[in-house]
């Protein structure tokens, strides 16, 4: 299973040629994808009406991982480490990354520069 960051889905929505997306490339090798509840929220608030039907169809095939106590504890640890190292990233990225760490799921993202700052996070490149 691979946790998809919002950037993967945004690229998929925006590009006309879906075969030139990282999602398409990943789908040639992997079959089991999930997103965090945070990503579900981000896509929900940024979703245009023109993409609503597409998102509904895609999300039916994605498992949504809830942000629970394990994720919250992981997020606290990640936040404190990033703060200590003066390597802070976007709050939503901390929450998404903490979900991947808490559930030990590799993450696919186009924002490698930020996510690679999270210790213990496996990034699919």
For residue 114, the SS3 value is helix
For the chain, give every domain's residue range. 2-124
- What's the pTM? 0.92
Q: How confident is the model at residue 28 (pLDDT cuts 50, 70, 90)?
A: very high
Per-residue pLDDT tens digits for 44-79 = 887 766 677 778 888 888 999 999 999 999 999 999
CATH hierarchy code of domain 2-124: 3.40.50.1010
Q: Rounded to a whole number, what is the distance in angstroms from the first to the last CA of the chain?
A: 15
């Amino acid at each position: 299973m691979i946790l998809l960051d919002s950037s993967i889905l945004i690229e998929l929505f925006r590009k006309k040629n879906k075969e030139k997306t990282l999602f398409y490339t990943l789908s040639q090798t992997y079959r089991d994808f999930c997103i965090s509840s945070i990503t579900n929220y981000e896509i929900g608030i940024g979703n245009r009406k023109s993409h609503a039907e597409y998102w509904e169809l895609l999300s039916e095939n994605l498992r949504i991982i809830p942000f629970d106590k394990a994720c919250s504890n992981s997020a606290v640890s990640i936040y404190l480490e990033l703060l200590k190292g003066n390597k802070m990233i976007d709050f939503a990225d901390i929450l998404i990354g903490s979900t991947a760490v808490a559930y030990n799921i590799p993450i696919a993202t186009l924002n490698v520069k930020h996510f690679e700052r999270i210790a213990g996070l496996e990034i699919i490149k």
